[in-house]
Amino acid sequence: MTRLLGAFLITCALFGQATNPPPAPPAAPTAFTVASIKPNKSSDDRFMLRPMPGGGLSATGVTLKMLMGLAYGVFAYQISGGPAWIGTERWDIEAKTDGVQGQLPLAQSSALLRALIEERFQLKVRRESKEMPVYELVVTKNGSKLKPNPDDPAKAKPSAMLGRGSGTFTNSSMAVLAARLSQQLGRPVSDHTGLKGGYDFTLEWTPAPGEGSAEAIGLPPRADPPAAGESNGPSIFTALQDQLGLKLEPQKGPVDMIIIDHVERASEN
């Protein structure tokens, strides 16, 4: 969902000409102009979160833990501390920003979200590096089975869909695959394949209990969890090797963590 905000610089001194400089672009907003945060009173598992044109944000049924993941650029397993309600109680948010044309870049929209939750939830956090179990994504000794995307890299649109037990990737990099696996497995996965460019592939496996659960994105457990898959199906580890020629090797390494020092429920408004 990364978007690019165009920017330009004109330098007249190189040509020895005196011209009027272009007007400076408006400063990036540092906070939402108007924001409403209310407890979500529905009893279903549905949620929605999307950036709105003009720098706004609309969210339904999201938890603070999910918002923190987006605001600080981390997965749910990288958030530590705080009361249990940050990952169970749901909220509805409508926020708007004046003077913005189109969509904001990801970095700016994340900064607005950070400012919002830090103010309204009285959230105070710090970053720490912690030694934790991690995975390294590598090519097996028999080599990769991946096929490069045949289209012009400048025209091929990358996409990566990884659900419960299946995934479809188009013009996808190995870094993107590693990120999807990290969320699926609840453990950091880094790309050590050495494979460059984009690839088209699918992946089919039988999820283990708890794998790819709602908690992986900071949501409460589903009221009706999906039924367990066929026990004779391949695990995601076996599927990666057999179907893609890739392997997950367990290691230990530093993981960036968000530690909650203080948080309060937002007052309804």
For 170-179, give one letter per residue: b (16+ CB within 10 A) or e: bbbbbebbbb
Q: How far is CA 79 from the centre of its chain?
A: 13
Cα dist from 164 to 75, 221, 241, whole Å: 17, 15, 18
Question: Of 183, 212, 177, 181, whose CA–CA distance to 198 is shortest?
Answer: 177
The pLDDT score that the predictor gives to residue 226 is: 53
Give the pLDDT score at 227: 56
Three-state DSSP state, 246 = strand
Residue 134 contacts by C-beta under 8 Å, 6 or more apart in sequence? 187, 188, 189, 190, 250, 251, 252, 253, 255
Write down the pLDDT at residue 148.
92
Which residue, 84, 135, 91, is CA-closest to 113?
91
What tokens were used for 197?
Answer: 């460019």
Alpha carbons within 13 A on the beta-carbon side of 225: 14
State phi, psi for 42 to the nearest 5 degrees.
-75, 165
Is the pTM value of this prediction over 0.85? no
Phi, psi of 165 (to 5 degrees): 95, 0
The one-digit pLDDT tens for each residue of the chain (269 residues) are 333 223 322 223 322 333 444 444 456 677 898 999 999 988 877 889 888 888 889 999 999 999 999 999 999 999 999 999 999 999 999 999 887 777 778 888 899 999 999 999 999 999 999 999 999 999 999 999 999 988 876 777 888 888 888 999 999 999 999 999 998 999 999 999 999 999 999 999 998 887 877 787 888 876 555 555 555 789 999 999 999 999 999 999 999 999 999 999 998 76
Given this model, what pLDDT does residue 65 score?
96
Exposure string over 38-69, b if 16+ CB within 10 A, otherwise e: eebeeeeeebeeebbeebbbebbbbbbbbbbb
Give the pLDDT of residue 224: 56
**pLDDT on residue 4:** 27
* Phi, psi (rounded to 5 degrees) for 48: -150, 140
Other Cβ atoms less than 10 A from the Cβ of 126: the count is 10
| The pair of three-digit structure tokens given for residue 184, joined into one six-digit string | 């699926």
